[in-house]
Amino acid sequence: MLLGVAATANADDIGAFADETVHTIETVASEKPNAPTGTWFTVDGEPIEDFDPADGWDDPDTDYTDSAIHTVDGGSVEIHDVPEGWTVDCDMRVNGLTGEWSAFYILRNGTETYRWYFDGADDIIHTVDELRGFTLTLNGEAVDCDPTKDVEVHRVNPSDLVGYEGQPQNWSVSQGEFTENGVSGYQYVIRPENAKTPTVTYRFFYDAPDPVDELAGVTATLDDGSPVTGFDPLNEEDIFTIPPGHTVTLGNLPDGWTQSSIGNDKRTAITLNRNGGGSITYLFDISDDYQWTYVVTQLANVTAELADGTPVEGFGYRGGEWTLPQDATGVVLKNVPEGWNVSLVNEPPLSMDKSWLYT
């Protein structure tokens, strides 16, 4: 905006100043940015006719706070049609410029700020526009939502950290657990301190898949390669058993899971922990009555040797046929795991192959 200031002489003195130059001084004010166009106010439901949203701009190039002042004859002030991208703050206070009790509003869009005083107002009718700067958080991260409306956040675990930031002035937040259709959760309810409405509810539902479900493929294996009889990775209620003198290890863990174990001569406990939360503990009692489960992989360490200790060439634990030297007098199987027996199927003349069967 251009402000023109001109210096002129009186008519009687024009001659005396005829040879002097008359200067025009022009000053340029900071360019006013886009205002919160469309915003308007009412007092007890009646529009404030002379309100202009372009007034009240706080010029960043000045060393004082700019604001616009309107005078009203009592009543409650309410804001309407705030454009997207603008936040609203308001409260009742004394106008420091006039000394009047006033309804005070601030609108911001991240770069510009507008301020208005409504001197003489009795109160403010709060609106959900004041919640635009309210933020829900989940494990320290902002939840992507519209805080001016009721919000439901799903797939939350009870161990997750929920919260909020940016509570507006003169609004109160109540919080607590809830249950809806058999699903529990945690909620925040926010409303103005001086009114029952508007009320906005934010709910976090504890309906995330149980992290234990990821463990469906986990295996429990003894140190001889046999599976632990009756082990169920989704069951942390039962106590499983293992034979004396053996250790147990869990395998096929999903990404992000680690295991740790502690134990004594009576029981072993293995705990699986998931990065980011979630754990399960399995208990294994040591029992003389353990019922073995047999799988061929238990034979992985079995070796075959001739009577003189020479390994049988090409021997494999999964079975097969091997040719022995003409002078062989027998075959010895070593490292046969507990619970397995070796029986000789037949013993033809030593000049022929020998066949062996694991049972």
pLDDT tens sequence for the chain (359 residues):
323 222 223 333 333 333 433 333 343 444 556 899 999 999 999 999 999 999 999 988 888 888 999 999 999 999 999 999 999 999 999 999 999 999 999 999 999 999 999 999 999 999 999 999 999 999 999 999 999 999 999 999 888 899 999 999 999 999 999 999 999 999 999 999 989 999 999 999 999 887 778 899 999 999 988 899 999 998 888 999 999 999 999 999 999 999 999 999 999 999 999 887 778 899 999 999 999 888 887 788 889 898 888 898 889 888 888 888 888 888 888 888 777 888 776 555 544 344 444 44
Q: Which CA distances in Å does 106 have to 39, 42, 68, 194, 339?
A: 12, 16, 11, 19, 82
Longest CA pairwise span in the chain (Å): 151
Q: Helix or strand or coil: residue 35? A: coil
Domain boundary assignment for the chain = 1-125, 143-205, 212-286, 294-359
Cα–Cα distance, 328 to 20 (Å, whole number) = 134
- In degrees and rounded to multiples of 5, residue 10 shows phi and psi of -65, 155
Lookup: tokens for 171: 């609004």
DSSP conformational letter for 222 = E
User: Which spans in 183-298 are helix H?
Assistant: none
CA 228, distance to chain mean position in Å, is 37
Q: Which residues contact 100 (CB under 8 A, 6 or more apart)?
A: 71, 94, 117, 119, 120
